[in-house]
Amino acid sequence: MRSFTTVCLWAYYIYQASAAAVADFRSSLNAAGIQAVFPGDPDYADSSRAFNRRFTFSPVAVTYPTSANQVADVVKLGTAYNYKIVARSGGHSYVANGLGGANGALVVDLKGLSQITVSSNTATIGTGNRLGDVALALNDHGRAIPHGTCPYVGIGGHSSYGGFGFTSRMWGLTLDTVTSMDVVLANGTIATLSETQSPDLFWAMRGAGGSYGIVTSITVNTFQAPASAMVFEYMWQFSASAAANAASAFQQFVQGTDLPREFDSEFTISKGNSPGTVTLQFVGGWYGPQDQFNAVVSPYLAQLPRPSSSKFTPGSYINSVAYLAGGDSLNVHDKPDGTDTFYAKSLMTPENSPISLTALNAFMSYMGNEGYNTNLNWFVQMELYGGRNSAINSVAPDATAFGKRDALWTIQFYASSPNWAPPYPSSGFTFLDNMVNSIISNSPADWNYGAYANYIDNRLSNWQQIYYGSHYQQLRQLKQTYDPNNVFSFPLGIEE
């Protein structure tokens, strides 16, 4: 049995060896001209801060390459020193996977890869860009792509795992626009992937990209920006049963109507004014001729009571993007990104088996009662993916690694701590788990639901099936081929 002194000496020698290795690694990066921040450096706390402050991780270093060649150098050096490596595009991973999801990872921050080149109907976008950068640069050329609403989200992760926004029923997910990409592989080589160049890996990268390589740029098909756009908002204070009926009626409306692709929407549900009630907001974008909007939505609205408020914001397409981003400037360089302390979950519900009225009643009742009594800051977004003419679901199920092409809704469940700062209360996990279970437990035993990887949940036990479905085994085989040593490793990444 080792004495206490022996154990202390052993730990000291391990520490000294580790410290020497880190010093050598720093010197190697310096020799390659690559900027990096290490523990103890003045910028380390800011460089290693997670968007979700529920997580605190300490990377071995955060590197800032400025070219694909430098990214390749970081990967080669990192593997030589046996570090696990992870890319960070915008840093908005819900579980801090951009920091490796654990202590000791080597972070490759891509903010130095910020070029955007627009040519005719395509654009090549460096993965250091945020969504606000992309929207503004494309709009300067009258072009656009589908993407989410938060301007600070990085295009790299967004396009690797999905990319939903209010133009997605019209144009698809962000990853559906990608025609090729430049990727640094686990062996440090740079490859261009497309349908004709390493098509198997190109398939995997569009749905599970972070597990196979570091994308340094994507080339996308762009779309002519709509001539006009209108954001619509309706709000009700509903009893739980009335809210359930409103959601059920909308499901029937969507499935029974030749709903134009130019329409997309979501229900945002939040705390009501009294126990047993919820606030229901019906919000979305209309990208067709403005004089045709009422004819599209009036058959549904006619089934509901008069809203407590309604608002219509017409204007240019880029104005609608800014408005849906919260009305702030899309220039993400004007002010720093914010943080939050939260837990999130998701459900992707099957189009051929809509949420039953029984499940909707249980769900709305839970939010009307438990949601009213909690001190958490919570909301739920029921995002419309499906319905007739949906570009998301028109893509063949096996065309990309994205796991679910038959969803009617993608639902995001989100709860922040009472003051949006640490610590996160354990009751928050139970609150959201039970909210999701109010739907699942009142649905058929064989209900073919999924979840959305961009709303990643590190407490999801059956994530392989829920995120990737039938694609997971193929993804695992490709992991063994392209990253057999699991260089790109993080929680809920594809297993080797």
Catalytic residues: 455
How far, in Å, are 162, 247, 408 from residue 404 at the CA level? 10, 22, 10
Q: For residues 81 and 67, give the distance between their C-alpha atoms in angstroms, rounded to a whole number.
A: 21
Residue in the block written with tokens 């839970």:
366
User: What are the residues whose beta carbons fall under 8 Å from the beta carbon of 260, sequence distance 6 or more?
Assistant: 288, 296, 389
How many C-beta atoms lie closer than 10 Å to residue 66's C-beta?
Answer: 16
Mapped onto helix, strand or coil, the DSSP state of residue 142 is: coil
DSSP 259-277: --TTEEEEEEEEE-SSTTE
Q: For residues 437 and 62, give the distance between their C-alpha atoms in angstroms, rounded to a whole number.
A: 38
Q: Where are the beta strands (DSSP E) in 316-455?
A: 342-350, 377-384, 407-416
Reference 159, options 126, 195, 116, 186; nearest CA is 126
Q: For residues 363 and 371, give the distance between their C-alpha atoms in angstroms, rounded to a whole number.
A: 10
CA 177 to centroid of chain Cα atoms:
16
How do beta strands 106-109 and 85-88 pair? parallel
Q: For residues 270 and 380, give the distance between their C-alpha atoms in angstroms, rounded to a whole number.
A: 7
DSSP 402-431: -S-S-EEEEEEEEEE-TTSSSPPPHHHHHH
How many C-beta atoms lie closer than 10 Å to residue 33's C-beta?
Answer: 10
Q: For residues 428 and 378, give the distance between their C-alpha atoms in angstroms, rounded to a whole number.
A: 10
Q: Which two tokens stand for residue 4?
A: 């206490």
Q: Which two tokens stand for residue 79?
A: 């593997």
Q: For residues 184 and 188, give the distance between their C-alpha atoms in angstroms, rounded to a whole number.
A: 6
**What is the 8-class DSSP label of residue 186?**
T
How many C-beta atoms lie closer than 10 Å to residue 145's C-beta?
Answer: 28
How far, in Å, are 28, 307, 381 from residue 279 at the CA level? 56, 11, 12
**What is the 8-class DSSP label of residue 291?**
G
How do beta strands 61-64 and 106-109 pair? parallel
Strand partners of residue 450: 348
Q: For residues 296 and 263, give the distance between their C-alpha atoms in angstroms, rounded to a whole number.
A: 8
